[in-house]
Chains A and B, each alone.
Chain A
Amino acid sequence: MEIVWQWFTAPLQFQFMVQALFVSVLVGAICAVLSCYLTLKGWALMGDAVSHAVLPGVVLAYGLQIPLALGAFVFGLGSVLLIGLIKARTRVKEDAAIGLVFTGFFAFGLVLISKLPSNIDLMHILFGNLLGISPENLIQTIVITVIATIGLFIFRKDLLLFCFDPVHARTIGLNTAFLYYLLLIILALTIVAAQQTVGIILVISMLITPGSTAYLLTDNFDRMTILAVLSAVFSSVLGTYLSYHFDASPAGCIVVLQTLIFLMTMIFAPKYGLIARR
């Protein structure tokens, strides 16, 4: 018992660990809430695209000394608009449009990193830097989480209706274009916040896995949200500890844990698990 206690408390003497745990819980929770909407809306691929497409925005924002969120937002939105344009105006299908736009944006980001005279660490952007959070990044993560939480709370019922039946939403006078961009803005903001913990490559896992896990466990949206948050926070905390004790990648640990929880759920879920459905 003493050893277990030590395992959890000893790292807390370091401020960077306290910060890392705090940020990973914050990011895990907001990503989990958003993941419920993304999985139900069928936006998993869209989330993947946006998370990669923000790279040039993040790099330029570093270079221009403007908030990372702004750069990420501009390019995240730009990628979605370009995908929409290609889909609407050419005979190229949506999945191909998504694939070619986000890789193009991502590649542009790589070129910028290698050419801009700055000390950006590509590895930190791609895979996060949970154990080395700067004060500015800490504040940025808190601000983004608060904004995204407020947005998701106020519009939670409208967004749910938008995911479920956008035509009905339109006919009763809801502004579905607004809801579309609201969800997109929150997505871009959350990706910026999550970039700190897990990086832009693995953020998509934070945005799909908790929601998918919870989806297999309940038929009630509120419960789904709570379960998603619980599984994400559990993975974030345990993953951060594991990465400390085994000197492993924090992003890797968190995402592996989330995936393990999903696989367990997929097999053992009471109603929708593989065993129950046999």
Chain B
Amino acid sequence: MQNPTIELENVTVSYDRTVALHGANLRVNQGSIAGIVGMNGSGKSTLFKAIMGLEKLRSGRVLIQGKSINKIHQRNLLAYIPQTEAVDWDFPISVYDVVMMGRYGYMNCLRIPREIDRKIVQQSLAKTQLTGLEQRQIGELSGGQKKRTFLARTLAQQGEIILLDEPFAGVDVKTEKAIIELLIELRDLGKTILISTHDLSSIATFCDQVILVNKTILAYGTIADVFTPENLSRTFGGSVPQGLF
């Protein structure tokens, strides 16, 4: 058994008096792709935020590579790709500038790009097929290009752990395939990838592990072990999505 790169021990997060995540335990190994599955409002986003150290924990702890995320503030260890709805697409910023923001953690305090930063940004753009669109304002992109812009930022950041929030929402099949290919490539380079989704059909094809979420982590492990009718009914509250089996 490999060392886990992400560990949650009895993590509870609550807002006011509502418990968003209760007593969650989790281990994710390095170099794997884990799909986080749950309905809207099941606590997927809270789980992400807890892993990124953005939530105050009511109890328990989160360890990243064996260390507390709040203590080390490790730069560039975590890379996050937000949901499409969470981004202000009218923001006056170009594709190039967004990808360059992935490099800020490596720059001096004035954030002046060095030669290496420009080179890595160019490579990241090429890898996500965005070359030629650098100067586009981000709102002028197609759905797939928008996703790939943030994926390029993640590549430029060279993080070890990549979190993607609903990456396949609103993208076409071709883009979905391209994203999955890129994620598999990254996994084979040793990166750890977490994907949240409420779409079960696609993740089964490429995830090494699935994590079922409904106000807590109900189960995690390989698809064969975890995708039992009972677990799924607990995840989706009895309404198991059609077309899964």
A residues adjacent to B (C-beta < 8 A): 40, 154, 157-158, 160-161, 163-165, 167-168, 170-174, 215, 218-221, 224
**Main secondary structure on B side of the interface with A:** loop
B75 contacts partner chain A, Cβ-Cβ < 8 Å: yes
Give B74 Cβ to nearest chain A Cβ, in Å.
7
In the complex the two chains form, is A40's CB within 8 Å of B91's CB?
yes
Chain B residues whose C-beta falls within 8 Å of the C-beta of A218 in the assembled complex: 92
Give A14 Cβ to nearest chain B Cβ, in Å.
41
- List of 5 A-B pairs having minimum Cβ-Cβ separation, nearest first: A172-B105, A173-B75, A219-B137, A157-B111, A171-B78
In the complex the two chains form, is A167's CB within 8 Å of B110's CB?
no
- 8 A-B residue pairs with Cβ-Cβ distance under 8 Å, sorted by A, are A157-B111, A165-B82, A168-B153, A173-B75, A173-B76, A219-B139, A220-B92, A221-B97
Chain B residues whose C-beta falls within 8 Å of the C-beta of A170 in the assembled complex: 52-54
B residues adjacent to A (C-beta < 8 A): 52-54, 73-76, 78-80, 82, 87-88, 91-94, 97-98, 101-102, 104-105, 109-111, 137, 139, 153, 157, 159
In the complex the two chains form, is A168's CB within 8 Å of B80's CB?
yes
Chain B residues whose C-beta falls within 8 Å of the C-beta of A163 in the assembled complex: 91
Q: Kindly state the separation between the CA atoms of A218 and B88 in the bound complex, as whole angstroms.
A: 16
Beta-carbon nearest neighbor of A164 in chain B: B91
Q: Kindly state the separation between the CA atoms of A168 and B149 in the bound complex, as whole angstroms.
A: 14
In the complex the two chains form, is A171's CB within 8 Å of B93's CB?
no
Chain A residues whose C-beta falls within 8 Å of the C-beta of B101 in the assembled complex: 161, 164-165, 168
Give A66 Cβ to nearest chain B Cβ, in Å.
32
Chain A residues whose C-beta falls within 8 Å of the C-beta of B137 in the assembled complex: 219-220
Q: Name the contact of A154 in the complex, choosing from B53, B104, B110, B153 (C-beta under 8 A).
A: B110
With A165-B87, A218-B92 as known contacts, state yes or no: A157 contacts B104, CB within 8 Å.
yes
Give A276 Cβ to nearest chain B Cβ, in Å.
15
Q: Kindly state the separation between the CA atoms of A161 and B88 in the bound complex, as whole angstroms.
A: 12
In the complex the two chains form, is B92's CB within 8 Å of A215's CB?
yes
Chain A residues whose C-beta falls within 8 Å of the C-beta of B76 in the assembled complex: 172-173
Chain B residues whose C-beta falls within 8 Å of the C-beta of A215 in the assembled complex: 92
Give A15 Cβ to nearest chain B Cβ, in Å.
39
Chain B residues whose C-beta falls within 8 Å of the C-beta of A158 in the assembled complex: 104, 109, 111
Beta-carbon nearest neighbor of B107 in chain A: A157
Beta-carbon nearest neighbor of A218 in chain B: B92
